[in-house]
Structures are given as C-alpha cells and as structure tokens.
Chains A and B, each alone.
Chain A
C-alpha cells in the first residue's frame, strides 16, 4: 500500500501536521490499516527530500503543518489519473498450501479446506459486524469494509470450488478410471455409505 500517495492526497486537501495526517488516514479507512506515527514521519521526510512536500511556518509554539509543493501536486494528480496495477497473483500462502496438500500424499485435504473455511467465515462474521455498525453517511469506511467482504467471500467461494473439484476427482478415481488425487478423507461416513447404497 502506498503510504506516500495517501499522504500526498490528504495534503492536497489541506496542509496538516503529522498527527492530523495520521488521524485523517485512519478515519477514512475505518482504521483497517492503522498507521503509526513513525511511518508518517519517515514518509514525510522522504517526500521532503524528493521535493514533494515542505513545512509551513507556524505561529510560535504550534507544530508546523506540512503542505504540498508544485511537484507534490503534480504527483497527486498523476496518481489519481493512473489505474492501480493489478499485482501479479502473488505467493498467497493458502493457494500454495492447498496445491501442496493435493500433491503430498497423506494430507487430509477435506479437513484442511473445512478448517480454512471456518476460519475465513469467522473473519467474514467480524467484518460484517463492523460493517453493520458503520453510519450510512460514512461512505469511505463503508467501501473499505465492503472490499474486505468481497475478497473474503471470494476466498470462501474458491474453497467451495476446491472441495467440489476434489469430490469429483475422487468419484472418478473410485469409479476405477484415472486421476490419483490425494483427497484422502477418512473413509466414508455412515451417512455417506447409506446414500451411496441408495444410489445403486
């Protein structure tokens, strides 16, 4: 996440002190990525070095607010103008873990999928609860939380899909055709046996 551009964008709105910047950032993002003051401070120093921000003279005893230079303003404009590059599908630990789970023999993939589903749904429960408490008017925070809801939901859908794929692969494997997939459930449950029988 670009702390640099976030701070430039806030300064293009109005000159602010370090503490005001941190507060404004946290408020607009629903405190989902809390910034510490050290991050704000080092980022501002770097921006100053690059000639994008400068400090205003303040009245005696007051902290000096930061403001954009002309270069800083151009940088913000360019940021608004350009799309955020979609990161190349990265090293998502869950994706790698599941790919390994279906490769390495002896892993109970179904149980692994369920544990993940339960944990991810718990996160969705939490986000939804937070989202319910957000005022209708607080559009910035709503859209941040909605983004979390969409991505969490997508992971759950993907897990459902993984499970279906495994069940199907297992069905073809036990039907005696091909595909040695290590879905390795701990044998059929009584309920399954009863149903399997009924399908004959």
Chain B
C-alpha cells in the first residue's frame, strides 16, 4: 500500500456561501488543501473564520457551493446522499469538542455503533471496538458509560470511535477544548501517533502549543487560508533562536 504519498483528503478551490443576495455569508473562500496519509495538519483562526466549515466540507457533512472535496480520490459531491453517508461512516472519523458520546451506551457500544450501522455483525463490531479502545489506551473503560469517565477518558473513547474500522481520515474540531493541559497533551500525543501510523489528521485548535504538534498549521482569516507554518527542516534553528 502506498500510504506515504497519496492524498487522503484533497480540497480544490472550495467555497461555501450561506444564504443568498444581501444576506449571503461567505464562510469559506477558494480553499485549497491536500493532506497525505501520515500527515497531521492544524487549522487556526479567530472564531467565525471558517474553521468548522472547512472541517464539515472535509467530512462530507456539508458540500461546497463551488469547488471540490475528494476523500481518497472520490469527489464527495458526485455521490448520492446515501453513498456520501457511507464514505462518511467508513473513511472519515470525526472528533467533536464535546465528544458527542451517546450517554446510554458503554464505551465499547459507542465505538461499535457506527460499525453496526454499516451492517457489521454485533460480535465483530465489538471486537473492532475493543481493539480501537486498546489502541487509544482506554480498553479498561470498555464497559463504562460516559457519565463515569473523566473528560480526557471520554475524549479518548471519542477518538477510538472516530478511528474504528478502516478509516484513514481523522477530523477533529477543537478536540482539546474542554480539557486541562496535561490531558490535552495526551490527546495530541495520541493524534500524533495516529498520523505517524498512517492516518491523515486535520485538527482545529485555538492553542498554538497544540498546533505545534502537527506537520503544518494553516491560518484562516475571513474564510480564506492566508498562510501556513510548520517545523523548519534544520532543527539547529532551536539553538540559533534561543542562544
């Protein structure tokens, strides 16, 4: 498998306008973005700058007014609503700021749920769920409900759910928003690991310290990607910059 260099997500000249005429709001303007397998990208920008809109488009939760969004080479707009829902469930994992776990279900049931929706057998779905919980370091919470978890634990379960099955694109909208700094760092370590193991990860964050864990950071202003920043090639810059 050519995991290293195929774009998992490609956004081409995508714009999203809400409403019409006088009341039109351009939430995103002419965005271009490519994320390969194994890449971890952050989006930063003031509130209202279009970060969530970009993530919604990437995840097929919304479609662009013009331009294209391709997930693993497939243009989402070319699909029927039903097909798009399948891609969303099978290829894309979504992590929300407030976790969005179903309160009546245990961790394992929460993680298995999208697989069962896809017609997986209950037993197979549970097996995959347990493997995913194991991977995110919360296997011991499998039979616990969200109300009996800390914020950091719930977010790990949400990430396990987002990545269960064969999904290779992980979208996270302020996944550390409600967490203390140590737990936030643990979540970043986990997302970084996911990327290092071949997932493409796109994360919205307000915190530069978390953005700094990624391979590059995009800056959004008024619906436009205006700039990007990432680590320098030579890390002796560290010595230069602080000597």
Interface residues, chain A, with chain B CB atoms under 8 Å away: 31-34, 114-115, 117-119, 121-130, 132, 148-149, 152-153, 156-157, 164, 189-192, 194-195, 197-198, 200
Distance, CA A132 to CA B235, complexed state (A): 13
Q: Do B235 and A130 touch (CB < 8 A)?
A: yes
Residue among A32, A114, A125, A192 making CB contact with B212, cutoff 8 Å: A125
Q: Do B222 and A189 touch (CB < 8 A)?
A: yes
Distance, CA A164 to CA B237, complexed state (A): 29
Residues of A within 8 A of B223 (CB): 189, 191
Residue among A34, A132, A191 making CB contact with B243, cutoff 8 Å: A34
Residue among B26, B213, B221, B229 making CB contact with A122, cutoff 8 Å: B229
Distance, CA A3 to CA B110, complexed state (A): 57
Residues of B within 8 A of A31 (CB): 239
Q: Do B25 and A198 touch (CB < 8 A)?
A: yes
Interface residues, chain B, with chain A CB atoms under 8 Å away: 17, 19, 22-26, 29, 46, 48, 50, 192, 208-209, 211-214, 217, 219, 221-224, 226-232, 235, 237-239, 241-243
Closest to A110 in B: B221
Residues of B within 8 A of A130 (CB): 235, 238
A190-B29, A191-B223 are contacts. A153–B230 as well, Cβ < 8 Å?
Answer: no
Main secondary structure, interface of B, reads mixed
A124-B212, A126-B237, A156-B208 are contacts. A118–B29 as well, Cβ < 8 Å?
Answer: no
Q: Do A189 and B224 touch (CB < 8 A)?
A: yes
Residues of A within 8 A of B228 (CB): 118
Closest to A192 in B: B222
Main secondary structure, interface of A, reads helix
Residue among A33, A115, A125, A192 making CB contact with B242, cutoff 8 Å: A33
B129 to chain A, nearest CB (A): 29
Closest to A121 in B: B229
Q: Do B238 and A191 touch (CB < 8 A)?
A: no
Closest to B50 in A: A191
Residue among B208, B213, B229 making CB contact with A119, cutoff 8 Å: B229
The 3 closest A-B pairs by CB, nearest first: A191-B223, A128-B212, A125-B231
Closest to B210 in A: A128
Closest to A32 in B: B242
Q: Do B229 and A118 touch (CB < 8 A)?
A: yes
Closest to B21 in A: A197
Q: Do B29 and A32 touch (CB < 8 A)?
A: no
Residues of A within 8 A of B237 (CB): 122-123, 126
Residues of B within 8 A of A195 (CB): 25-26, 48, 222
Q: Do A34 and B239 touch (CB < 8 A)?
A: yes
